[in-house]
Amino acid sequence: MSTGDAAFDLFKISEDHEALREAVRAVAEDKIAPYAAAVDEESRYPQEAHDALVASDFHAPHIPEQYDGVGADALATCIVIEEVARACASSSLIPAVNKLGTMPLILGASEEVKAKYLPPVARGESTFSYGLSEREAGSDTASMKTRARRDGDDWVLSGQKSWITNAGVSDFYTVLAVTDPEGKRGSNVSAFVVEKSDEGFSFGEKERKLGIKGSPTRELHFDNVRIPGDRMVGAPGEGLKIALRTLDHTRVTIGAQAVGIAQGALDFAVGYVKERKQFGKAIADFQGIQFMLADMAMELEAARQMVYVAAAKSERGDKDLPFFGAAAKCYASDVAMKVTTDAVQLLGGYGYTKDFPVERMMRDAKITQIYEGTNQIQRMVMARQLLK
């Protein structure tokens, strides 16, 4: 591939996109930001944010209109996630994970499966999570141990999944399992929709995490869970292919989340340095501080542009999306970690306390370098695309 060919006509921010940003920002500042510190402190699901997002149709904006959704394009969905993350990273996982959980259906499911499971999510009655990783199969997804064996028209699921975002809250789960243990590695995995009420399906304890504490992360346990055959997503053996295509699209949303976290930290730091006085003047007047802010803003804007380009490619289904999705997620998350760390530094001792939001933002930013493929894996994805 040649990345130089991609410079023109990549994305356009329309007036509709800008109006959407204003609307989401208003909801985030009014209904989400006031609860962000408590959500983090109490490690509780951000129900206030959930209710506000559902009321404004921002909880799953990507779902097409034919399934009762608002049919937002990929760039609009990124703007929603970015603006929510600016106020509360945990809350931004509501639209992000709804997209992650349903994207395999949108890409590969039968019309019957789409018609059954997408409308309740679009209407805000249910949420959707995604079950790919396992204890011993993180980056090496093809080595998963979860099995689904055929039993008549049904499948019987056994095994576990780890690090599942919003587990226990979501009603529906896209779960990947090996359906042909003797088959070719990577082509022997199928995808299924598992319902929270399925007999034999349970959850592990909540993980105690560094950040995104308002978004529950738990294991999924399958003890001979019987799944009707018509709940398979795509054909037998297509599961991993669908799962990896899903990640090409949803990595872009993690980039958007990272941009939002970084923007929230930069905004707070700029306000603080204008007010904080040392040596008889605002610390914003010192060139050392100004250079830090300039670098933070420059790198953040570069990350935002990369995310928006990748979103446009996601919307069009461009063949170079795997490179751009990985690049946007990798770069934006690295920038988020740097910007939030610098924001803590700019607040000095206050930055290290929970009285101010930047320490939370720094903790929240870290996961963006890890989930949906570590940044080391993103670099492998990019290199493979370049060497094709």
3-class DSSP assignment, residue 36: helix
Whether 301 is catalytic is no
Q: b vs e for 228-267, b when ≥16 Cβ sit within 10 Å of the residue's Cβ?
A: eeebbbbebbbbbbbbbbbbbbbbbbbbbbbbbbbbbbbe
Cβ–Cβ < 8 Å for 84, 32 = yes
What whole-number distance in Å separates Cα of residue 61 and Cα of residue 206?
Answer: 27
What whole-number distance in Å separates Cα of residue 345 and Cα of residue 283?
Answer: 13
Q: Sort 18 into a burial class: Cβ within 10 Å, 0-12 / 13-18 / 19+.
A: exposed
Which among 147, 133, 149, 135 has a CA at the least distance from the CA of 100?
133
What whole-number distance in Å separates Cα of residue 59 and Cα of residue 56?
Answer: 8
Total count of residues recorded for the chain = 388
Please state whether 183 falls in left (phi above 0), alpha (psi between -120 and 50) or beta.
beta
Cβ–Cβ < 8 Å for 98, 58 = no
Structure tokens at 78: 């990124």
Our CA angle for 42, 47, 51, nearest 5°, is 160
For 111, 259, 283, 299, 305, the CA distances from 292, given in Å and listed in that order, are 52, 17, 12, 11, 20
Which among 303, 337, 165, 326 has a CA at the least distance from the CA of 252?
326
Active-site residue set: 372
